[in-house]
Structure 1
């Protein structure tokens, strides 16, 4: 292939399926678990009778008897016309993403042919044979080969390609791959490698600073297409968290990390089916476990990119809580940096003030009360909560002006600990038990985000909390 076509093929292969978020909501409403639906489509031919049968079987499992009957009847009567509409939506938004990322018209045109078939039975209807761009034909073969290689090895991939040769797939491209199946397929790694991917890029174009931010904003928008309940969520969280980080006086580099983490904190949601995100009732225990995987998926995706390691760390902590009750790692206290504390508070506030399928939105006033209650319970950082609320337009809370939400007793304990007093000495001076002192110290360390006496002493000095005992 000419070098220009090779470049186009590289980017079409990477971008062709990002449009899946565009139609997840509608597909899940009709066919159930959208992740399982897409996995199942690799077993059937696009546009074939077996594909229609597959869709009918899926539709027959969703909703009550009347809903199922109507869904099945509509599919049969229209020969799954609504699925073609879904394909059009997928291609449109993928093309929009390519345009926003600055790709040339050749890449964007190829993306409109993502669901084309060699025999013309795909989408756009009638587009067939060599009228389909060569990069698209290559990607179709590579896509199917990769999936069936994971399932059945080289023999499984070859058998599936031969079954579809001349129907959905270009015979010449199939033959080219089969002629070199062993060296091509046996060399595939078990997991994708970021280094290998970058090395394969025919024309690398690094993104830096504002250009990178625009790309991350585009990703955030496409992630939020996963469900109408999330529309605009990532940008709004990012802006709120960045504003709060600025109010807290965090360094500019940390503010930038917080905003980027806010844009990407929802990335892992694409790996969780819409039957969970859009469920109008409470989740089962199994559904809740699947839902909580989204933070893990975010971490797995972003950690592959060296330039975003710091962002990955913060983005994947969005559901962690100071008392260890969060997910996905269940970390607590000083293990959660201030950047992640701010993002968690912003995420929580935004979620409370937006409707969800199982509840209406809370008022801003009620959300502020709820957020402060989370801080009082030791789950969210009080200073991060106050910064988020002020950034969201609320008045600063005047009931407690102590840093990190420390109580008067905790300030007394911190002051003595900072001066190297032992738990027994603190207990004697304050007239409480050593065990109670230990409990106070644990909470103090969680609130101020440290794990050592030296860290506590530095915090106390920074905030003017070291009170010297009067000389005897």
Structure 2
């Protein structure tokens, strides 16, 4: 069995967890909204397929958040707080649209990135075409004022309206109480979504919210388990989505996973524990979504308030263990990614005896991979230099020395077992070079300088890459190319 193959619902739950963190929402927001969306579909007599689509769209509604985080950061500074504020706007139309009204074409450009990536995620998860189409049109409005395509009325899938209504009810009830939530939904009827769907939400809101309060873990009557039972998917997609938040981290989580797996093998861990280390490494960055890009991109020492947010990254990853089913053990291991054997790590400040061997492996692998990746404030270290630095840290007591020695015996990143592109000739070598640089966030001008070609030539290659990968944004191209093994 593929060591990265896991139940489909657990990957979708994990994506919803990351999305809720990125949107500044409680981490049970999307699962609660998904249950409400499913109830709405049943209340209006929808068939089982539509019920599943409404549930899936509500769970994956924010899955494209990491993709446009760099653009959101440019507009709002704090991309997490900016999104949280948008969702709280009490408007009769789209909060997203009204919150970006004075920022030119931001609504359409940000929507396009988000929707394209959300649809691609659904495709890679193996969800049906109707669900993919709905996720590609998340910000459409019933009156035609939405994005990305300005669809209106019945041209918009019912699942989009159901997910939007469920999300509005969950957020507005939490922020402003049930009466105001119902009032706002009534104001948005026939603007964002049809009145025929808004009415049953208002009529059943009290009953549905009470049911959720009686089943806070969504493990009883409000369980979502039946919607995707028996299906599996690859866990790598989650790692790639996590890494999209910061362009300079493209492919980082997969590199950490490969290093950790090979070190676990060197240390003699059995196959199930190697598998757990690999999976934990793939998801160890889940909590990163809660920290705004402006903090991650800050050169030099962080302010104490910013540092406190960074310290909570592994805490949030550990919290995910409570709601992602079969991956709970991996999430627990992943929460040790930044602990140090001398107690100087975070968030627990655990010492060697309190850190499981899987956690010590992951911590060292993450550190080595990070040293080999360029950051906005420093260049990447060469492999040998990175190994020397990490060994010095181990000698000083901050990492397990045996783990580091095993880690340094693993294949170099350029020789590690990378996924093989199904169609190796899909892109030319020059197109792959250009794609690699734009995936890391480089502008066309910078790519031209790096490759000693003209900006117009870069633009031609970018257009060709987008055409061949059937995408229109950098984020979507990065996600698809990473999944195909082209990066």
TM-score normalised by structure 1 residue count: 0.74
Partner of 2:403: 384
Correspondences of 1:235-384 after superposition (within 5 Å): 235-384=254-403
Alpha-carbon distance between aligned partners in 1 of 2:121 and 2:49, rounded to the nearest angstrom: 20
* 2:243 corresponds to: 224
Structure 2 residue 57 is the aligned partner of structure 1 residue 33: no
**1:2-81 aligned within 5 A:** 2-44=47-89, 54-55=99-100, 75=103, 80-81=104-105
Matches within 5 A, 1:399-418: none
What is the match of residue 212 of structure 2?
188
* CA 1:36–1:225: 2 relative to 1, 3 Å: same
**Structure 2 residue 167 is matched with structure 1 residue 148:** no
Aligned counterparts of 2:199 and 2:82: Cα–Cα separation in 1: 29
CA distance in 1, matches of 2:198, 2:86: 19
Gaps of 5+ in 2: 1-45, 414-487
Alignment of 1:202-221 (within 5 A): 202-207=226-231, 211-212=232-233, 214=234, 216-221=235-240
**Aligned: 1:82 with 2:106:** yes
Match of 2:127 in 1: 103
Find the aligned partners of 1:269 and 1:10 in 2 and give their Cα distance: 25
Distance in 2 between the 1:261 and 1:26 partners?
Answer: 29
Q: How many residues align?
A: 368
Q: 1:182 deviation in Å? A: 1.5
Give the distance between the partners of 1:113 and 1:233, measured in 2 at CA: 29
1:65-86 CA-to-partner distances (Å, cap 9, x unmatched) read xxxxxxx7xx3xxxx3133122
Residues 46 and 168 in structure 1, CA contact (< 8 A), matched pair in contact too? no
- The alignment's C-alpha RMSD in Å is 2.3
Contact 2:139 2:146 in 1 (8 A): yes
CA distance in 1, matches of 2:331, 2:139: 33
Q: Please identify runs of 4+ aligned residues in structure 1 that moved more than 4 A.
A: 45-53
Specify the SS of the correspondent of 1:19.
coil
Cα deviation digits, residues 48-99 of structure 1 (max 9, x gap): 698666437xxxxxxxxxxxxxxx7xx3xxxx31331221111111111111
Mapped to 2, the partners of 1:228 and 1:313 lie a distance apart of: 26
Q: 2:88 touches 2:171 (CA, 8 Å); kept in 1?
A: no
Please state how far the C-alpha of 1:38 moved relative to its aligned partner: 1.0
State the partner residue of 1:412.
none
Alpha-carbon distance in 1 for matches of 2:94, 2:162: 24
Change (3 A) 1:171 1:266: same
In structure 1, the residue matched to 2:198 is 174
Whether contact under 8 Å (2:92, 2:188) holds in the other structure is no
The answer to which structure, 1 or 2, has the higher relative contact order (CA under 8 A, 6+ apart) is 2
Q: Who wins on radius of gyration, i.e. which is larger?
A: 1
Query: Are the structure 2 counterparts of residues 35 and 349 from structure 1 closer, same or farther at C-alpha, using a change threshold of 3 Å?
Result: same
> What's 1:461 paired with?
none
TM-score by length of structure 2 reads 0.71
